[in-house]
Amino acid sequence: MQPRYKRILLKLSGESLMGDNSFGLDPLVIERYASEIKKIVALGVEVAVVIGGGNIYRGMNEKQTGIERAHGDYMGMLATVINGMAMQAMLEKLGVYTRLQSAIKMEQVAEPYIRRRAIRHLEKHRVVIFGAGTGNPYFTTDTAGSLRAIEIGAEVILKGTRVDGIYTADPEKDTTATRFENISFKECIDKNLKVMDMTAFTLCMENNLPIIVFDMNREGNLSRVVMGEQVGTLVK
């Protein structure tokens, strides 16, 4: 049985890498995620990854931090490179070939982001990790994920979270919340469901790029998604 998707972009939050810690990296979580990625690479899926930086630095609130928004956003971009390096190290420990590309030049630790080179790496079945967001302040890593997915011709964005899909309300706060199996972009906007930030979401909608929101912490879910099983919520 062939995977449903040949090329995907996996979007992970930085916070997901913390595990039970209040900040930083949990090596056990990174190893678990790397193992899940290795499984789908073995299926022949071409995998790109974008990871947030919120576990290390979240520079959105200038009033709280006292740091200018643009300056803080650059700090957050550097945090995503640290997370990308951690994921790269773990994947290579498991025998998966990788490339880390950064939107901010830092030749000693990562290749510069070059679209055609990224696509060539994917064709050679290397996992490509995109760091430093878009390289611009005022854009989130959700937007970076959407942009890179469109640029490389990914068929879908897989947004790995700690909940098993999109709900009518926050299931961690509202026990009566119900989960959607399928939902349109327009419905998400009309119902004000926070799937991604608006810039990222609009990019996907305008380019007909579907999003699947699923629970990354459940073993085997990533493989089930790429094989086409009904896991999480599909936005299209």
Q: Of 33, 73, 32, 30, give the one whose Cα is nearest residue 53.
A: 73
**Integer Cα distance of 87 and 49 in angstroms:** 9
Percent of the chain at pLDDT > 70 equals: 99
Outline where the chain has alpha helix (H): 27-42, 62-65, 69-93, 115-123, 141-152, 185-190, 198-206, 221-226
Span 197-223, mean pLDDT? Answer: 96
Q: Does residue 1 have a pLDDT over 90?
A: no
User: What pLDDT digit, counting tens, does each position of 92-120 carry?
Assistant: 999 999 999 999 999 999 999 999 999 99
Residue pair 18/53 in contact (Cβ under 8 Å)? The answer is no
Percent of the chain at pLDDT > 90 equals: 83
Question: Which CATH number belongs to the domain containing residue 47 in this structure?
Answer: 3.40.1160.10
Residue 91 lies in a domain: yes
Residue 164 lies in a domain: yes
Residue 2 lies in a domain: no
Q: Of 216, 211, 201, 213, give the one whose Cα is nearest residue 236.
A: 211
Q: What is the pLDDT of residue 66?
A: 85
pLDDT confidence tier of residue 171, bands split at 50, 70 and 90: confident
**Number of domains within the chain:** 1
Residue 41 lies in a domain: yes
Residue 228 lies in a domain: yes
Residue pair 58/69 in contact (Cβ under 8 Å)? The answer is no
Residue 87 lies in a domain: yes
Q: Of 77, 91, 221, give the one whose Cα is nearest residue 158.
A: 221
Q: Does residue 175 have a pLDDT over 80?
A: yes
**What is the token pair recorded at 128?**
């490509």
**Integer Cα distance of 143 and 127 in angstroms:** 20
DSSP structure class, residue 194: -
Residue 168 lies in a domain: yes
Q: What is the pLDDT of residue 222?
A: 98
Backbone angles phi, psi at 179, to 5 degrees: -95, 140
Residue 1 lies in a domain: no
**Integer Cα distance of 177 and 65 in angstroms:** 34
Whole-model pTM: value is: 0.95
Return the bridge partners of 33, or none. none
* Residue numbers of the domain that contains 176: 7-235
